[in-house]
């Protein structure tokens, strides 16, 4: 009588890792996102080498340890062998099917009625590392990083500040606008971010000044790690595009607005972005997100239909993903006082104008090759509501509507010591919560120069 069963008592949907059964956990047995970790409490340094794991509750499952203990089925063990390098690169390169086999095999092992664990309770200690005893690393070797501009609300908001008469450029509704980002300066959640120094020039300035940015911002984005990729010269048809997406993470695309304003014409943002980009460490698979599929964003009446190479029959049913995204901010003073971080924005990834499949199909439409581990970011996720604006430039409407923190401090842009935490999760009654964990970064004082 499945219809009458409370799903939270179905043994296939519960784990013997207790914390995974907490409905507030980001990492129930239905999620099992991939990441790379290092044990921080390990006595010998070899054991502290990077290892591939999946998150479950407050624990990390060591995939290679599971394989070595014979706990995976055949397909799972084959996929686990791809994790022996301590990076996700090879698993990503193998395509989404390998990750699916591995998650299925791990799910069988982790469910509350697992025969293997019932037979031998000591298995747990041999394959689990508490998250508290682990350092999380970048999940993959990111060859190229591309940043899109897929939120029409963001593009309209920013455009209206600078071009009130025609906020949205004529190409926006036709072209999934994007640009190449800097891969070398991508860092994992928790890495401090130093305020960048650069050239800026206000309208009143005779000459540019050089010094630490005075308009440092965050940008709330969703990242897509590429799985198998495509060969140079071979575009990916839209119908196959999503198979190229291994999984998603949260991205903070830190931006120095004053540097950007002065440098970006005519070739786009450069040093305003390349000082740091923070990613959350867990890669949530599209399989895990399947229950949170929603129709793609509804284009306004009069908007053009996507061109044929960007049109998918699936869009109306499942082109979007209903991921709730939040930004929390705390100042040094708040943390000293014990004041919890303040939520400054909340929106949903379902409001993006372009789908993930469209971003991939467009990116490769000229023959450009994507490689496993490449990162595509969505661009700032903003919705139509004020509280869903995904960066301070929009949230404070170009500094005209400052935020007031619980301490009475005011913010238009980020101050030294401010910490930004981004979170993403999917939630709906009767379904397991699928969370992303967090993407965290604290601003460190910049080094003055030239002034």
Interacting residue ranges for its own copies, rule: CB under 8 A: 143-144, 147, 149, 159, 169, 171, 174-175, 177-185, 187, 194, 196-199, 201, 207-208, 210, 232-233, 235, 256, 259, 262-272, 274-276, 304, 307-309, 362-363, 365-371, 374, 447, 449-450
CA 68 – CA 130 distance, rounded (Å): 20
The minimum distance between CB 399 and its own copies, in angstroms, equals 20
CA 249 – CA 326 distance, rounded (Å): 13
Place of tokens 């009130």: 164
Nearer to its own copies, 130 or 450 (CB): 450
Nearest to 351 by CA among 75, 134, 157: 157
Is 180 among the residues known to form the active site? no
The minimum distance between CB 147 and its own copies, in angstroms, equals 8
The minimum distance between CB 143 and its own copies, in angstroms, equals 6
CA 403 – CA 334 distance, rounded (Å): 14
Nearer to its own copies, 317 or 445 (CB): 445
C-beta of residue 354 within 8 angstroms of C-beta of residue 360: no
The minimum distance between CB 269 and its own copies, in angstroms, equals 7
Nearer to its own copies, 327 or 370 (CB): 370
Nearer to its own copies, 259 or 284 (CB): 259
The minimum distance between CB 411 and its own copies, in angstroms, equals 22
CA 109 – CA 20 distance, rounded (Å): 14
Catalytic residue among 9, 154, 166, 363: 154
CA of residue 281 relative to chain centroid, distance: 8
- Give the DSSP H/E element, type plus range, for residue 420: strand 419-426
C-beta of residue 113 within 8 angstroms of C-beta of residue 23: no
Count H helices, E strands: the chain?
14, 26
Place of tokens 């500094």: 399
CA 98 – CA 96 distance, rounded (Å): 6
Nearer to its own copies, 158 or 321 (CB): 158
- Bridge partners (DSSP) listed for residue 193: 443
Active-site residue set: 154
């Amino acid at each position: 009588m499945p219809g009458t069963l409370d799903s939270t008592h179905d043994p296939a949907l519960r784990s013997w890792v207790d914390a995974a059964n907490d409905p507030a956990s980001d990492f129930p047995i239905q999620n099992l996102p991939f990441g790379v970790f290092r044990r921080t409490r390990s006595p010998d340094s070899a054991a502290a080498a990077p290892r591939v794991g999946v998150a479950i509750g407050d624990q990390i499952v060591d995939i290679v340890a599971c394989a070595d203990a014979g706990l995976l089925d055949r397909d799972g063990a084959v996929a686990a062998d791809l994790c022996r390098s301590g990076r996700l690169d090879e698993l990503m390169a193998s395509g989404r099917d390998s990750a699916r086999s591995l998650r299925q095999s791990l799910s069988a092992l982790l469910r509350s009625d697992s025969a293997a664990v019932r037979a031998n309770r000591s298995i747990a200690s041999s394959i689990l590392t508490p998250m508290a005893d682990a350092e999380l690393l970048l999940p993959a070797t990111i060859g190229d990083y591309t940043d899109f501009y897929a939120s029409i609300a963001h593009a309209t908001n920013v455009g209206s500040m600078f071009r009130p008469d025609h906020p949205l450029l004529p190409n926006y509704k036709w072209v999934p606008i994007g640009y190449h980002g800097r891969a070398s300066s991508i860092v994992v959640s928790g890495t401090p971010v130093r305020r960048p120094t650069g050239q800026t020039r206000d309208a009143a300035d005779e000459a540019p000044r050089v010094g630490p940015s005075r308009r440092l911002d965050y940008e709330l984005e969703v990242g897509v790690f590429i799985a198998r990729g495509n060969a140079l010269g071979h575009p990916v048809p839209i119908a196959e595009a999503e198979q190229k997406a291994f999984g998603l993470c949260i991205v903070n695309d830190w931006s120095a607005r004053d540097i950007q304003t002065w440098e970006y014409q005519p070739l786009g943002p450069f040093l305003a972005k390349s000082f740091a980009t923070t990613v959350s460490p867990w890669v949530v698979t599209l399989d895990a997100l399947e229950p949170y599929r929603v129709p793609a964003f509804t284009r306004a009446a009069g908007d053009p239909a996507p061109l044929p190479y960007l049109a998918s029959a699936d869009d109306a049913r499942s082109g979007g993903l209903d991921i709730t995204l939040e930004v929390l901010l705390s100042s040094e003073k708040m943390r000293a006082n014990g004041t919890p971080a303040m939520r400054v924005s909340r929106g949903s990834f379902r409001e993006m104008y372009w789908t993930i499949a469209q971003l991939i199909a467009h990116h490769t439409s000229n023959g450009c090759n994507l490689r496993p581990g490449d990162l595509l970011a969505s661009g700032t996720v903003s919705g139509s509501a004020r509280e869903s604006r995904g960066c301070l430039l929009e949230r404070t409407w170009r500094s005209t509507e400052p935020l007031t923190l619980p301490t009475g401090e005011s913010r238009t842009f980020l101050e030294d010591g401010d910490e930004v935490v981004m979170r993403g999760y999917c939630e709906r009654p009767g379904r397991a919560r699928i969370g992303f964990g967090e993407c965290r970064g604290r601003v460190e004082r910049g080094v003055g120069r030239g002034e």
